[in-house]
Homo-oligomer: A and B are copies of this chain.
């Protein structure tokens, strides 16, 4: 028996992939250059990667604040030809710069959509029916002491205005219809596939809705699209749900509207400066606050591993990407 050389694995640049099984699955298949375990500053890390004998052609990056894949980043590692985002959002990737350089982009596709929709509906039931407020009441031992407790309100008949009727918004609408809610929506243009009432602006949507749900992507156009005017159009009995991105809502205005009773409540999974949550919210009983966890279940984590490896294998073998963003 002659000893054989270990197989040469393609080089992969990696940012913020923390789950151990996911890490291991990638290391089995690739020569991984991992920024977060490298301990190096970004500039030095990228320069070293570019100087690798086999410089990385692919990048796996989490969404959010982990890294910005912009012109400077792409200049630093000119070998890159493929960016995979483990998030559904793409606000951390400059798609124009990628397109200009012929860098392909894929994301996690619809891996998270049902879980995010489920979590959003759960938060809405929670806010309207005061589930986690009741939870605090019971756990503090107040039930035997205080007979009266503020009533919640019914889901049936509520007009739910969804900003962004994409995959997640559509899955939410299906669930909410089963509760007897009436669906309204806003998007760039009306969708022919649905019979829900369309509103051309978020302001008009808010003024005809009892609940306003942020389910769109973050972009220049949607940043702070839920502002003071929109919150006042929603009105004092209105509820805001955000499972999109924090900066789509003007958070300071949201906090004021809640504190002044100009809206009735909120269910928030995302915030402007995560992991920072405005401290004023902690003392409010009419808000439900979760830590950007709407997408994360055991099942979606496993689906994400499959989607990531599937897209990487497609890229490295020259086959069509499974969930391409660019080129489509």
Contacts and interface: CB of A to CB of B under 8 A. Distances in A.
Nearest to A122: B125
Interface string A269-288: 00000111100001000001
A147 interface: yes
Contact of A293 (B118, B149, B276): B149
Contacts of A134: 289-291, 293
B135 A125 contact: no
Copies in the complex: 2
Nearest to A277: B138
A127 to B, nearest CB: 10
A212 B324 CA distance: 40
A174 interface: yes
Given A125-B118, A178-B174, A179-B118, A276 B144 contact: yes
Contacts of A189: none
A297 B126 contact: no
B138 A298 contact: no
A152 interface: yes
A290 B175 contact: no
A110 interface: no
B178 A131 contact: no
A191 interface: no
Nearest to A18: B147
A300 interface: yes
A297 to B, nearest CB: 5
A119 B125 contact: yes
B129 A119 contact: yes
Contacts of A126: 122, 126, 131-132
A75 interface: no
A309 interface: no
B118 A296 contact: no
Interface stretch (A3-11, A78-86, A153-161): A153-161
B298 A135 contact: no
Contact of A123 (B123, B131, B137, B293): B131
A291 B149 contact: yes
5 contacts: A114-B156, A121-B179, A134-B293, A175-B179, A178-B178
A143 B297 contact: no
Nearest to A118: B155
A296 B130 CA distance: 11
**Which of the listed residues A118, A138, A298, A299 has the most CB atoms from chain B within 10 Å of its own CB?**
A138
A139 interface: yes
Contacts of A137: 291
A251 interface: no
